[in-house]
């Protein structure tokens, strides 16, 4: 089944046309629920790696949500401003949530994102600088959903890109008008090198951040 899906994705990548899309279109498609900004931890600026110190302090004090039994974290520069965002994943078998934080003298939350496969399906990234966000994937009811998370103006934005409905035997159905973003979503889905590595929220995992 997975091989068939990969072959379908490769075929779509070859035949899909490419065209641009303005950022205003993505803004209209953003997840309006992901707009909370909350100050968490402040660290006096002293070096280029101050964000590491702030994120490390926050992770050491992180209060896990009791409804989830797994928690991991990672970091990536989602808005391409030179300072990575902190990405925290909490999950159980049937649900999960991502909390995304940024740093500007203080750590603050830029938003949340949830789907039923958080903690099960990998988050993926592109090596192309114009696609600095994360590509998401989840499935349910015979349908696979593909999307994109990024940060703009200190706000987490989700873009629903495309889906495949296997029950109705439909090929790719585009939700977004951003052809280039859809193309890149297909590209990262067929390589393991694009998977964002996640670390446990413990002393060993946090030590990876502070290296």
**What phi-psi label fits residue 41: left (phi over 0), alpha (psi between -120 and 50 degrees) or beta?**
beta
Helix (H) or strand (E) holding 190: none
Of 29-38, 67-76, 94-103, 139-148, the least confident: 29-38
- The rounded mean pLDDT for the chain is 83
The whole-model pTM stands at 0.80
Domain count, the chain: 1
Residue 134, SS3 per DSSP: strand
User: Which domain does 47 fall in, by range?
Assistant: 2-209
E strand map for 134-189: 134-140, 143-152, 155-165, 172-174
Residue 12, SS3 per DSSP: helix
Q: Residue 137: count other Cβ atoms within 10 Å of its Cβ.
A: 19
Dihedral of the alpha carbons of 106, 111, 114, 120, in degrees to the nearest 10: -30
Is the per-residue pLDDT at 187 higher than 80?
yes
Structure token digits, residue 163: 């889906």
Collect all residues with Cβ–Cβ distance below 8 Å to 209 and sequence separation of at least 6. 52, 55, 56, 59, 73, 75, 199
What digits encode the pLDDT tens for the residues 126-175? 999 999 999 999 999 999 999 999 999 999 999 999 999 999 877 889 99
Is the per-residue pLDDT at 5 higher than 50?
no
Helix (H) or strand (E) holding 53: helix 50-60
Specify whether the CB–CB gap between 51 and 106 falls below 8 A.
no
């Amino acid at each position: 089944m997975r091989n068939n899906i990969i072959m379908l994705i490769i075929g779509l990548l070859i035949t899909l046309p490419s065209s641009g899309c303005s950022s205003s279109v993505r803004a209209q498609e953003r997840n309006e629920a992901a707009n909370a900004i909350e100050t968490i931890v402040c660290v006096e600026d002293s070096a280029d790696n101050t964000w590491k110190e702030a994120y490390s302090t926050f992770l050491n004090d992180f209060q896990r949500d009791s409804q989830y039994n797994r928690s991991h974290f990672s970091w990536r520069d989602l808005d391409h401003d030179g300072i990575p965002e902190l990405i925290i994943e909490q999950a159980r078998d049937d649900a999960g949530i991502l909390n995304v934080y940024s740093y500007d003298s203080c750590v603050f939350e830029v938003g949340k994102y949830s789907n039923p496969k958080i903690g099960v399906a990998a988050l993926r990234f592109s090596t192309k600088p114009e696609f600095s966000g994360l590509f998401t994937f989840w499935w349910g009811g015979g349908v696979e959903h593909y999307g994109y998370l990024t940060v703009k103006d200190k706000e987490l934005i989700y873009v629903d890109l495309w889906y495949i409905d296997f029950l109705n035997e439909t090929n790719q159905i585009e939700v977004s008008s951003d052809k280039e973003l859809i193309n890149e979503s297909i590209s990262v889905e067929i390589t393991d090198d694009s998977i964002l590595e996640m670390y446990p929220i413990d002393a060993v995992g946090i030590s990876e951040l502070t290296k």
